[in-house]
Each structure stands twice: as C-alpha cells, then as structure tokens.
Amino acid sequence: MIQDVVWSVSIILMGALALVFIWVATGASVAIANYGPVIDAAYRLRVWLFGIALIVLIGTNYKTVGELPYINTLPPLPAAAVQPVQVVGQQWMWTITPNTFKVGQTAEFQVTSKDVNHGFGLYDPEFRIVAEVQAMPGYTNVLRYQFTEPGTYQVLCLEYCGVAHHAMQAQIKVTDH
Amino acid sequence: MTIAATAGRTAINPRAAVLAYLAVSGIVLLLMMLLGLTMRLAQAQWIDVSPDFFYVVMTMHGAGMVGIAGLCSAAVMWHFVRRHVPVSTAVFLTNLVFFLIGAVLILGAGFIGGFGAAWTFLFPLPAHSGGLWSVNAAAAYLVGLIFIGVGFLLLHLDIARGILSVYGGLGAALGVKQAFGLAHGEEGPPPAVTASTMALIANILGILVGAAVLIISLVNLYVPSFTFNALAAKNLIYYFGHTFINVTIYMAVIAVYEILPIYAHRAWKTNWAFYLAWVLSTVFVLTVYTHHLLMDFAMPTWTLVAGQVISWLSGLPVLLVTAFGTLTVVYRSGLRWNPAAALVFLGVAGWAIGVIPAIADGTIAVNSVMHNTQWVPGHFHTYLLLGMVAMVLGFMTYLTNPQSRYGVAWLGYWLYLLGGVVFVLAFLSAGSASVPRRYAVHVAQWLPYDRIGSIGAACAIAGVLILIVRFFVGMRTAASAQDPSG
C-alpha cells in the first residue's frame, strides 16, 4: 500500500538526515583552524545536493501529478461501467445509496454534506484507508473507486465535525458475485 | 540605530519584557502540553475522558499551542531585531496584553462554555454545536482569536515601521538585491532583519485574511441567515492558519542564526543563496496553503497541483540553506556543547527532518490515503515540538545561562529529545496505519500507538518542565545581565 511505501521511505530519509546531524554534532569538538576550505567544500557539496534534490523533485512531481484522483482529470467511462453512489454526510451519520457492490465494480461517490464539513474516508476490510474526499455543504465532490477485494468496507468521518465525530461511521458490503 | 537609541524610546526594560514573554510562554506551553498528554492518555484508554470534554481539550490545545508558538517565537525575533532597528517596547508589551485577554476569552469559551469546534473553527461548525456550546461561547472564542491577531498585527506593524526607517523598504530589508546578484551578499541586512521582514509580510497578510473570516463567522453566529461559502471560508482559514503557524518557525530560527555562531566561534555567512532562500520562503509561505485542501475536489485543480509543487519546493530553502548552514557552522568548529547550543542545533534538525513527512503529505497521491490521519500531527509535531520549540528553549537557556546547573539542563534536554522522538514516531506510524486524527475514542488495534505515544509525551513534558523550571530559576539575574558572548 502507498502508506507502507511512504512510511518506509520517510523513516529512511529522516534517519539518514538525523545521522548527518549526529555525525556533525559528535565531531564538533575537533577544531579546524582554517574555516575557509570548509566553506568552499560545503558550497561545492551544496551545488551537488541542489542538483540531486531538483532531479528528485521534478521526477516525483512529474510522476505523481499524472495520477490525480480528481474526476476532471480521469478518463471518462461509459455510463454502464460506473455505479453512481449518493453520499450525504450530516452530524453524525452517513447516508450512502447504494451501499452494496461487487468486486471489480467502479463506484463514483457523489459526496456532499447537509450541515458542516465532513470527510468521507473509505477503509478496506483490513481497516486501511484506500480513498477519501471532503464532504462539504454546497458542493458535490466526486470520488471514483474500483473495488478490488470482497468484504466489509468502513466509512469513517475524516474531518472533525463535532462531539460525535468519531462515531460517524457506515459500512459498505462488497461481494464476489 | 543602536540599542541605546532604541532603549531611549521607553522606560520599560526591553530585556525584562522579553523575559515576561518567555515566562508566560513557558507556563502556557507546559499547560498545553499537559492537555495534549490528556488526549493521548484518553485515546490510550489509560484515563477516562468524555468525548465532549476531549474535544474541548483538543480545541484548547490547538488554539493554545498555535498562540503560544507565535508568542514565544515573537520574543526571539524582537530580542534580536531590536539590535538593528528601533522598535517600541510598549507595543511589544501591548501584544502580550492582547494575547492574555485573548487567552482568557478562549479558555473561558472552552472550559466554561464548552466550545469544541477545533482550533480551525471550520465554517459553519461554530454555529452547529449540537447543543454542546452556546452562541456566546463560540463568539468568545472567535473574539479571543481576534484579540490575539490584533496584538500581533500591532507588533508586526511596529517592527515594519522600524525596519522601514532604517532600510527604506521591505525589499531592501529582505535582501532582494543580494538574492538576485544586484548587490554583494556581505552587504546585505543582518539575518534577524531579513527573517523579521519575511515574518511581518506573511503575518500581516495572513492576520488580515484571518480577521475577515473571523468576523464572517461571528456575524453568522448571531445572524444565521448571513451565510458564506464553506469552501471560501476554508481557504481563508487555512491561509491564515498555515501562514501564522509556519511563520513561528521563521521567527524562532533567528535564535539559531544569533546563538550558534557565538558558541561555534564562526560567523553565519550571508550570501546570495541565503537571501534568495528567504525571498523564496516568503513567496512559498504565502502560496502553499492549498496543500491543506487537496481533498477538496471542488477546488480548481491547478491550485491543488500548485499546492503540491510548492510544498516540495518550500523544502529546499530549509534543507539546503538553513540546515546546511547550521551543519557548516558547527562542523569541526571546536564547539564545546552546552544546552543552549544543543537545543538550537536540535531545533534545526527537527525542522529539517520534519520537512520530509510534511512533503510526503503534501503529495496528492499520498494525501489521498493519509489526509487527516495521525501522520499530520506526526509531521507538524516533528518540526514544531522538536524544531520551533527547541529553538525557543535554546533561546531561554541562552538568556538564563547559569553554567553550574548544566547537569540538570542536560537531563531535561535528553528527556525532551528522546521522549519527543518516541512521541512523533508513534504519531507517524499510526498515520501510516490509517489511524484518524482528532478522534476521542480509539478502537483496540490503535491502542499500541496511543500508549507508546503517551509514554513519549510524558517523557518530553518532564524534560521541558526541567528546562522551564531552570529558566525561572535564572530569570531574576537574567533581567539585568548581558547576553552570553560564548
């Protein structure tokens, strides 16, 4: 899952950066008399780091900006291939119609709110988030998602909406056939 | 303009005023940390807290931490910028008074009125309490925020007046000519002036936007027929909120520029890259806020793509200029570590390391599965708790520098650092496991994260308590002392 990749990459990079700080901190007590060459070497290193950072930045953004979840950026699908789903959030319940699907089916959740901001968070049967979108009064946000495994999906509210925010949950059933 | 000329403007001891800021900050910081620990213990099911009280605590913790982050980092900025430009101690203290009035109103709204709409008060939630708080409680909260905003507006305007009187323009004070090679970097303004200029540009704009949405929300409370577009309100709130909390780091980092070179016996070299970083950071801070709205699909897509790209770009000045500069100043400098130097060094490390999970969350594909999970408090606590707060604690230790008590300070330092690391890693790992943020009640499978996080939080608070008690012990003599010179 994306979350696992992000966690692993983040921990590695954070740890590597922490090690650099620790390395410099533990070696700080040794003094170099002439600071000039240190600065010159550091500036040369920074140019290299800037180049590497720029390549990573451009590459990652090029790749990820090509895979947006927004409906206006997704290829249109024939009406028969998509199941429209009405999702209405209100303090503190979800109304989802329909709420049963088959594996392989693509749903387009048309998400709105009757009162305040809510967050439509779709959790898979292993209780990990697979998609989300905000539910806002006055707007209908469309979220497309294809169900790939059977089971009971949970819908949790992911935008704080008042005292029963944590209890604002619903279920979606996905069957093999 | 010299310090002597500045001091001549008022009879109030400026150093005592800074210490007053830090004393208030120390107390409020600890109280807000205890509220944070209360939430983690409740989520861990180690204490019993009702959901309605949990969300009041959450709201007070959020508003209190954002406010106190602004206050203590403003003390850092003001202490150093007044060496270079004339500023008013009376205005500085007026901000403190406005802050305290605002804090009383906000605490009253929460703990007496039961207001619990989160510090972000997303429109129209303050008017939809479900019977838990009154219109007047919501209004007290909003008016409290307005008081705090007005105080900061006055402070920044006064610093702007001082900067303009010396440098003639904000561009000159920011180092725009040096940034684009039109003047030598060595001839540019001092880092404290550049950082203060960036802070005032961003915060004045942000506070004005925040005032607009606060007034709109206030009117809506008493005249429900007066409504406003919820998405537009969200834009205004995050523009203000993102700017204000980010600027706290840019104000606090002045402590690093000023303190670390003293102990490392090396000057902080300012060159075109330094000024370009600050010019770009000014632009980025004012334009990156849409990364808070990546799951608001109704936003124009280009604004969300811009939010992602600017999030990535904004990491470059932090990592390649401030963090790199810090490492260069310390590298084999002969520095003999003391708690003040170690804390500001840690502050830069925490800021730089926190940029990594922040950039991840600012990526739309990642945000689609991690937005509003505990990954979010994980990354912002990394660069606030272990970044901005460390810089301020370093500044407090620097001002009250009794060397005979280093042993106690080191104990506080290590408890704070190790506890803080455990605390933020618990948040980040929980976020990657899809644990939502801002939940009063957690299911059984989330409890291990909460319990490890609670232990980390308790250790970090114990460390901060030691450092702050040490600050209070040294405060009396610090009022009449000079800044340490290494």
Predicted local confidence at residue B186, as pLDDT: 82
Q: A155 CA to chain B: closest CA distance, Å?
A: 12
Strands A151-157 and A169-175: antiparallel
SS3 at position B486 = coil
Q: B122 CA to chain A: closest CA distance, Å?
A: 7
CB contact under 8 A, A25 and B357: no
Per-residue pLDDT averaged across B334-344, rounded?
A: 94
CB contact under 8 A, A31 and B273: no
Q: Are A94 and A86 in contact (CB under 8 A)?
A: no
**Predicted confidence (pLDDT) at residue B1 exceeds the cutoff of 80:** no
User: Over pLDDT 90: what percentage of chain B?
Assistant: 89
- Higher local confidence (pLDDT), B5 or A16: A16
Predicted local confidence at residue B98, as pLDDT: 98
* pLDDT band, very low/low/confident/very high, at B5 (cuts 50, 70, 90): very low
CB contact under 8 A, A46 and B320: yes
Q: Tell me which residue of B253, B260, B114 sits closest to B191, measured CA to CA.
A: B253
B387 CB neighbours in chain A (<8 A) are: none
* pLDDT band, very low/low/confident/very high, at B315 (cuts 50, 70, 90): confident
Strands A169-175 and A100-102: parallel
**Predicted confidence (pLDDT) at residue B10 exceeds the cutoff of 60:** no
Q: Would you give the DSSP letter of residue B434?
A: T
**Predicted confidence (pLDDT) at residue A56 exceeds the cutoff of 80:** yes
Q: Which option is the CATH number for B3-478: 1.20.210.10, 3.40.50.1580, 1.20.1250.20, 3.40.50.12780?
A: 1.20.210.10
Helix-helix angle B51-81:B135-167, to 10 degrees: 10
Nearest to B312 among A57, A139, A142 (CB): A57
Predicted local confidence at residue B8, as pLDDT: 45
What are the angstrom distances between the C-alpha of B115 and each of A110, B118, B380?
31, 9, 24
Which tens digits make up the pLDDT trace of A35-44? 888 888 888 9
Predicted local confidence at residue B4, as pLDDT: 43
**Predicted confidence (pLDDT) at residue B429 exceeds the cutoff of 50:** yes
**Predicted confidence (pLDDT) at residue B279 exceeds the cutoff of 80:** yes
Poorest-pLDDT segment among A3-17, B68-82, B228-242, B265-279: B265-279
Q: Tell me which residue of B218, B189, B258, B192 sits closest to B109, measured CA to CA.
A: B218
pTM over 0.90? The answer is yes
A165 CB neighbours in chain B (<8 A) are: 55, 438-440
Predicted local confidence at residue B367, as pLDDT: 97
Q: How far apart are CA B285 and CA B242, in angstroms?
A: 8
Q: B194 CA to chain A: closest CA distance, Å?
A: 21
Predicted local confidence at residue B405, as pLDDT: 63
Nearest to A139 among B120, B231, B352 (CB): B231
Nearest to A35 among B230, B266, B319 (CB): B266
- Report the complex ipTM: 0.96
Strands A141-146 and A106-113: antiparallel
What one-character-per-residue DSSP string does B137-185 give?
A: HHHHHHHHHHHHHHHHHHHHHHHHHHHHHHHSSHHHHHTHHHHTTSS-G
Task: Show Cβ contacts of residue A173 under 8 Å, excluding neighbours closer than 6 positions.
Answer: A99, A100, A101, A152, A153
Q: A153 CA to chain B: closest CA distance, Å?
A: 14
Q: Tell me which residue of B65, B71, B68, B113 sits closest to B92, measured CA to CA.
A: B71
Q: How far apart are CA B273 and CA B373, in angstroms?
A: 36
Q: How far apart are CA B278 and CA B268, in angstroms?
A: 15
* pLDDT band, very low/low/confident/very high, at B9 (cuts 50, 70, 90): low
Q: Which fold has domain A71-175?
A: Immunoglobulin-like (2.60.40)
A27 CB neighbours in chain B (<8 A) are: 331-332
Domain locations along chain B = 3-478
Predicted local confidence at residue B403, as pLDDT: 63
CB contact under 8 A, A69 and B364: yes
Predicted local confidence at residue B485, as pLDDT: 65
Domain locations along chain A = 2-65, 71-175
**Predicted confidence (pLDDT) at residue B3 exceeds the cutoff of 50:** no
**Predicted confidence (pLDDT) at residue B289 exceeds the cutoff of 80:** yes
Q: From the candidates B52, B328, B359, which should be mutated to test the interface with A, based on the most A CB atoms within 10 A?
A: B328
Largest Cα separation within chain A, whole Å, is 76
φ/ψ (deg, to 5) at A153? -90, 145
**Predicted confidence (pLDDT) at residue B305 exceeds the cutoff of 50:** yes
**Predicted confidence (pLDDT) at residue B479 exceeds the cutoff of 90:** no
**Predicted confidence (pLDDT) at residue B236 exceeds the cutoff of 50:** yes
**Predicted confidence (pLDDT) at residue B112 exceeds the cutoff of 50:** yes
